[in-house]
Amino acid sequence: MAIDFVPVILCGGTGSRLWPLSRAGFPKQFICLTGTDSLFQQAAQRLAALNDETFRVAAPVVVSNESHRFLVSEQLREIGIELGAALLEPVGRNTAPALSLAALAAVEGGSDPVLVVIPADQAVSDGLAFTQTLHEAIQCAAAGSVVILGIKPDRAETGYGYIQSEAPASAGGPSPVLQFVEKPDAATALRYLADGSYYWNAGIFVLKASVWLRALAAFAPDISNSSQKAWAARRTDGLFIRPGQAEFAAIRSDSIDYAVMEHCAGSTFDLRMLALDANWSDLGAWDAVWKLLPKDEAGNAHVGDVLSSDSNNTLVHASSRLVGVVGVSNLVVVETADAVLVADKSRSQEVRQIVDQLSQQRREEQHLHRKVNRPWGWYDTLDSGDRFKVKRIMVRPKASLSLQKHFHRAEHWVVVKGTAEITNGDQTLVLTENQSTYIPLGEVHRLANPGSIPLEIIEIQTGSYLQEDDIVRLQSDY
C-alpha cells in the first residue's frame, strides 16, 4: 500500500548574509546560486523525485511571505510542478507557526498525511542519497515517529545547531535523539566533532500532521491556539490561502526546534534522527557558497564575467559586468547592477551588519534589485536623475499591469519588442515595435500584452516625484 505524503516547503527568510545578491524582495531561495534552477526550484524537484509506487507525493504546500506569492507560483510553473497551496504569511513568525498552518491545511477533510518539511534555501548534490534517506524517514513517520535529519559534521562548525543521537552513524537506521544543542563555541564544536554522536541539525523534519498538532498543543499551547484562530479566519483566493492577518500577527514567534522538537526528546513522542549523507549545505553565507562551487587550481570560484590574476581561495560573483581581481586571497567579491560587496571570506556571517546599516538608513538596496520582478513580468531602472527616470519594462504574454494613474509624473512609452495594448484615458491603442505614446500626468492608463511573445518597452518618467508609491491602482488582476 502506498504511503501518501505532503511536501511542505518553508520559503520564508530574507537571506541577509547573502546580500547583495539576496534582497528582502527577492531572497536567496529564489536565486540560482548553483546550477540553472533556484534553490526553491531544486527543493521542489527533490521532493517530486520521492514519488514512486510505494511513496505517493501530493502537490507541494509552500509557506511564504505574502509579497513572494507570485515568485512561488511562477518558479513552480517554470519547472512543471503543480502548486498544492501557498500559505501566505502577512508577517514573519518563524517556522513553528508556518508548519502549524501547513498541518492544519493537511488535516482538512479528515486526512492525516505524513508531512515532509524542508527549508527552501538548501543545496543537496546527491539526489539519490537524499531520496533513499527520505523514503526511510517517511516509513518511520508513517508508523508514528517524529524524524529529523542530521548531517555528520566534517569540521568544528560553530554556525549550526547540533543533535546528539543515541547510536553512532555506523549503526544506520533511525536512532533516538538524546538532545538538541544550540550553536556551540569553537572548543565545544571540536569536542562534538571528536565525540561522534553529534550531528548538524539540517532543519528537515518528517512526521504526520496530527503528530505535529498534538506535540504543539503539548509543548507550545499558546502557538497552537493562536495558529488555530489564524487558520479559522483564513481567506482563500484560488491556491493562495491567507490566514487571518491580526490573528497571525498575534502568534508568538518561535522555531520548530525551540517550540517542539527540543521538548520531544525524552518525552512520550518517539523522536528519531536519520543521518543524511548527500553533500548537504544550507548556503547560509558566502563562504558556504564558495565551498559548494567548482574551483580552479588556486581555490578560486568564479560566477559570471570574471578575470583573476595571482589570487587564491576567493569567490567572485559578477552579475552585470566584468570584475577583475589581482593579488587577493580569501575574499568574497559580489557585484550586482546597483551594489558591490567586498568581504573577508572568514567573516561572511557579518554581511548582515551591512544589511542592518541599509535598514537604518532606509536604503532601497536592502529590499530590491535594480531589476524588480512583478506578477506580470519585470522592470529594470536604467537611469534616474533630477525629475526623470528611465525604465525597461517586460510584460509576459497575456498579462497586464493594473489600471492606474499618477499624481506627480507623466510617462513616455516606446515599444521595442512585441505588441502593446494601451489604455490611455478614453482611448485604447495597439502599438508595435518603434511606435510610442505619451501618458499625461493624472491620466488613467494601463499597459497590456495581448500577444504570444514578451512585450518590452522603454518608459521615460518625468515629474516632481518619481517613487513607486505614486500609483493609484483603480483595477488590478493581482
pLDDT digits (tens, 9 = 90+) for 337-362: 999 999 999 999 899 999 999 999 99
Q: Are residues 215 and 267 in the same domain?
A: yes
Please answer whether residues 116 and 5 qualify as being in contact, where contact means their C-beta atoms are separated by less than 8 angstroms. yes
The predicted-structure confidence for 449-470, as pLDDT tens digits, reads as follows 999 999 999 999 999 999 888 8
Establish if 363 belongs to a structural domain.
no
The predicted-structure confidence for 124-145, as pLDDT tens digits, reads as follows 999 999 999 999 999 999 999 9
* pLDDT of amino acid 286: 96
Q: Are residues 244 and 333 in the same domain?
A: no
Q: What is the CATH number of the domain that holds 450?
A: 2.60.120.10
The band of 13, judged by pLDDT with boundaries at 50, 70 and 90, is confident
Question: Among 240, 256, 281, where does a domain finish?
Answer: 281
| Whole-number percent of the chain with pLDDT over 90 | 77
CA–CA gap between residue 411 and residue 250 (Å, rounded)? 42
* pLDDT of amino acid 109: 79
**What average pLDDT does range 20-42 have in this prediction?**
91
* pLDDT of amino acid 1: 64
Establish if 324 belongs to a structural domain.
yes
* Listed residue (310, 453, 338) closest to 21, CA to CA: 338
User: What's the sign of the alpha-carbon dihedral 128, 39, 241, 16?
Assistant: positive
Q: Are residues 180 and 51 in the same domain?
A: yes
Q: Are residues 167 and 80 in the same domain?
A: yes
Establish if 362 belongs to a structural domain.
no
Q: Which three cell numbers stand for residue 240?
A: 493562495
| Number of other residues whose CB lies within 10 A of the CB of residue 224 | 24
**SS3 per residue for the chain:** CCEEEEEEEECCCCCHHHCCCCECCECHHHCCCCCCCCHHHHHHHHHHCCCCCCEEECCCEEEEEHHHHHHHHHHHHHCCCCCCEEEEECCCCCHHHHHHHHHHHHCHHHCCCEEEEEECCCEECCHHHHHHHHHHHHHHHHCCCEEEEEECCCCCCCCCCEEEECCCHHHCCCEEEEEEECCCCHHHHHHHHHHCCEEEEEEEEEEEHHHHHHHHHHHCHHHHHHHHHHHHCCEEECCEEECCHHHHHCCCCCCHHHHHHHHHCCCCCCEEEEECCCCEECCCCHHHHHHHCCCCCCCCEEECCEEEECCECCEEEECCCCEEEECCECEEEEECCCCEEEEEHHHHHHHHHHHHHHHHCCCHHHCCCCEEEECCEEEEEEEEECCEEEEEEEECCCCECCEEECCCEEEEEEEEECCEEEEECCEEEEECCCCEEEECCCCCEEEECCCCCCEEEEEEEEECCCCCCCCEEEECCC
Place of cell 499551547: 221
Q: Are residues 183 and 305 in the same domain?
A: no
pLDDT over threshold 80, residue 247? yes
Among 158-167, 306-315, 370-379, 391-400, name the one with the lowest average pLDDT: 158-167
Establish if 338 belongs to a structural domain.
yes
Establish if 258 belongs to a structural domain.
yes
Question: Among 356, 379, 413, where does a domain finish?
Answer: 356
**What average pLDDT does range 89-101 have in this prediction?**
94
Q: What is the CATH number of the domain that holds 99?
A: 3.90.550.10
Establish if 366 belongs to a structural domain.
no
Question: Among 328, 356, 384, where does a domain finish?
Answer: 356
* Listed residue (392, 396, 391) closest to 377, CA to CA: 396
The band of 259, judged by pLDDT with boundaries at 50, 70 and 90, is very high
Q: Are residues 294 and 272 in the same domain?
A: no
Establish if 98 belongs to a structural domain.
yes
CA–CA gap between residue 379 and residue 369 (Å, rounded)? 10
Q: Are residues 92 and 115 in the same domain?
A: yes
The band of 2, judged by pLDDT with boundaries at 50, 70 and 90, is confident
* pLDDT of amino acid 296: 96
Establish if 272 belongs to a structural domain.
yes
Q: Are residues 132 and 259 in the same domain?
A: yes
* pLDDT of amino acid 267: 86
**What does pLDDT average to over the chain?**
93
For residue 105, which amino acid is it? A
* pLDDT of amino acid 154: 87
Q: Are residues 343 and 464 in the same domain?
A: no
Please answer whether residues 15 and 30 qualify as being in contact, where contact means their C-beta atoms are separated by less than 8 angstroms. no
CA–CA gap between residue 59 and residue 277 (Å, rounded)? 26
Q: How many domains does the chain have?
A: 3
Q: Are residues 463 and 325 in the same domain?
A: no
* pLDDT of amino acid 467: 87
Q: Are residues 47 and 62 in the same domain?
A: yes
Q: Are residues 442 and 333 in the same domain?
A: no
Where in the sequence is the domain holding 93, given as residue range(s)? 3-281
